[in-house]
Amino acid sequence: MAVAKLEQLSKSVVQGPSLATGAIPTQDWMDVPVVFKPGNFAYQAKVEKVEYLNSQKDLNFPNAREWSPENDDWKLPEDWKEIILHGLKERLDKFRSLKIFMDCCVRCGACADKCHFFLGTGDPKNMPVMRAELLRSIYRNDFTLAGKLMGKMAGAREMTVGVLKEWFMYSYQCTECRRCSVFCPYGIDTAEVTMMLRELLHLVGVGINWILEPASNSNRTGNHMGLQPHTFKDNVDFLAEDVENLTGVKINHSFNRKGAEVLFITPSADVFAEPGLYTAMGYLALFEEIGLDYTWSTYASEGGNFGLFTNNELMKKLNGKMYAEAKRLGVKYIIGGECGHMWRVVHQYMDTMNGPADFLEVPKSSITGTVFNNAASTKMVHISEFTADLIRHNKIKLDPSRNSHVKATFHDSCNPARAMGLLDEPRYILDHVLDNWVEMPENTIREQTFCCGSGTGLNTDEIMELRMRAGLPRANAVKHVIDKYGVNTLSCVCAIDRATLTSLMNYWNPGCDVCGVSELVGNALVMKGENRQELTEGLRTLV
């Protein structure tokens, strides 16, 4: 009696179609088609953005058209299949890593449960090994003997429109965070498989607007928001005025100044959007205090590089812009602000794409004399490295009690943590600007950090639920330190995180603020000649 009822309940509850995949999980994964519904995909790129990018030198974004993932017909070019297979062949020849990643997975499953998308959705195709399998199955079919002979038995399958749609669904449910790669005994980096999937999709005109619009803006005016030089300048001026109002110290900053020692580049979100604004105020205060000879640029007005989320040509172009500006201004080296993927590109790809930057000097802090040999090739120093070095040499005065309103924890952003190994510098800074702060559980920080859930251009509002699912592992760890230690602030060194974690906290842990580490530095900084107001909320205080 009761058993029969429970079975009926199960039928309705367990076997209902999953909205993520539209799938009833009774078939082999290869046979389960994807279903696009409002909320489970990011909007397609607008025609004019694709056309613009395609018109640019060295860029290839063909097949601009009106289309929608929800329609059956994606209006692919007639020879789409040849284009994809040819594109795959080209990439297998060009990127040795791709060939290795395709060949050497032993399906041990160590990565399977390490992805935040899998942990938040329970969808098997979000296991990193399966995500890679989406491409590997095609690779096997067309590029390996076993696949040609044995087909499905060897895990091979033919490239079809259904497979292409699956690629689109799941390459945009991966934030290229590389957490899975930390656990793979062979170091297979599924993020790079996702990058290839996205590149291949662009060859037939399949891409999302949230990535292509900022990328085209960046190519056109120098920043994601498409803001022109005077607007960028006005905003920085405005922030400098704010710092002066709060601290009584006049900020002397400059733009596009030839002959400055340092070019400073940060994500434009720091200059335009809360809560990044306060981080930018922190930079301004710090540079003023140490008297750094530096300049902002209204052309290289963006650290972020959405090219990384599209294809290597666009990534190269947007990265090249920063170095072109450094060369034009004749600076000695670059300091980069709190950004995520800018650092991934600089640290992992810049050298082979645009480097080495021989026209610049190996960064040497004029304040402490420290030579940053770790940046000997890219000539770009992270603001946290630079600040930690100042603290280490006692070059700035900090009063942690000025941050007494803050009870912080620290989120390792995926790219600085896993792509450049920046783990201890931000922590060293926090130790000096805060009376105390707490770590989240061990398996959620440092190399094992969980992604904010909205990286790689997935921070668009139409997929808010997906973002909340993917951000669950991160939010869950934050909740733990809120409950246990009364944490009220989540600090980080990434501009995308400052935006995405804000929404993540607003859903999962309302009341927890998000801030940049440089904001906390600015709060604690004791400035020469200051005439500071009572700043109960640091640089956020309204006066």
Q: Given the rule CB under 6 A, which residues bind ligand SF4? A: 105-111, 114-115, 117, 128-129, 131, 174-180, 184, 186, 188, 190-191, 194
163 binds, among other proteins, ligand SF4, none (CB under 5 to 8 A by kind): none
Of residues 5 and 96, the one with the C-beta less far from other proteins:
5
By 3-state DSSP, what share of the chain in percent is helix, strand and coil, each rounded to 5? 55, 5, 40
What is the 3-state secondary structure of 73-129? CCCCCCCHHHHHHHHHHHHHHHCHHHHHHHHHCCCCCCCCCCCHHHHHHCCHHHCHH
Cβ atoms within 10 Å, residue 186 = 15
Taking the complex as a whole, the smallest distance from the CB of residue 179 to ligand SF4 amounts, in Å, to 4
Quick check: 14 binds other proteins (CB under 8 A)? yes
Residues in 73-112 at the binding interface with other proteins, rule: CB under 8 A: 112
Is residue 222 within 8 Å of residue 302, measured between CB atoms? yes
Characterize 503-515 residue by residue with b for buried, 16 or more Cβ atoms within 10 angstroms of its Cβ, and e for exposed. bbbeebbeebbbb
| Two tokens, residue 415 | 């790219």
Quick check: 71 binds other proteins (CB under 8 A)? no
56 binds, among ligand SF4, other proteins, none (CB under 5 to 8 A by kind): none
Is residue 166 within 8 Å of residue 125, measured between CB atoms? yes
190 binds, among other proteins, ligand SF4, none (CB under 5 to 8 A by kind): ligand SF4
CA 352 – CA 354 distance, rounded (Å): 6
CA 297 – CA 320 distance, rounded (Å): 14
- Which residue of 52, 61, 172, 272 would you call a contact of other proteins, by CB under 8 A? 272
The count of chain residues that interact with other proteins, using the rule CB under 8 A, is: 68
**Contact flags string 288-327 toward other proteins, x per CB under 8 A:** ----------------------------------------
Taking the complex as a whole, the smallest distance from the CB of residue 32 to ligand SF4 amounts, in Å, to 18
Instruction: Choose the binding region for other proteins from 21-29, 87-95, 337-345, 515-523 (rule: CB under 8 A).
Output: 21-29
Quick check: 444 binds other proteins (CB under 8 A)? yes
- Which residue of 136, 198, 224, 316 would you call a contact of other proteins, by CB under 8 A? 224
| Two tokens, residue 282 | 């922190």
| Two tokens, residue 355 | 């480097």
Is residue 509 within 8 Å of residue 489, measured between CB atoms? no
Of residues 224 and 407, the one with the C-beta less far from other proteins:
224
Residue identified by tokens 């296991």 is 127
177 binds, among other proteins, ligand SF4, none (CB under 5 to 8 A by kind): ligand SF4
Residues in 467-506 at the binding interface with other proteins, rule: CB under 8 A: 468-469, 472-473, 476-477, 480, 499, 502-503, 506
| Non-local CB neighbours of 356 within 8 Å, separated by 6+ positions | 377, 378
Of 241, 492, 285, 493, the C-alpha closest to 390 is: 285
Taking the complex as a whole, the smallest distance from the CB of residue 385 to ligand SF4 amounts, in Å, to 25
Residues in 445-474 at the binding interface with other proteins, rule: CB under 8 A: 459-462, 464-465, 468-469, 472-473
Instruction: Choose the binding region for other proteins from 146-154, 265-273, 293-301, 329-337 (rule: CB under 8 A).
Output: 265-273
| Non-local CB neighbours of 501 within 8 Å, separated by 6+ positions | 411, 452, 471, 474, 490, 492, 514
Question: Would you tell me which residues interact with other proteins (CB under 8 A)?
Answer: 1-3, 5-6, 8-14, 16, 18-21, 23, 25, 38-40, 43, 112-113, 118-124, 127, 209-210, 213-214, 217, 224-225, 269, 272-275, 441, 443-444, 459-462, 464-465, 468-469, 472-473, 476-477, 480, 499, 502-503, 506-508, 510
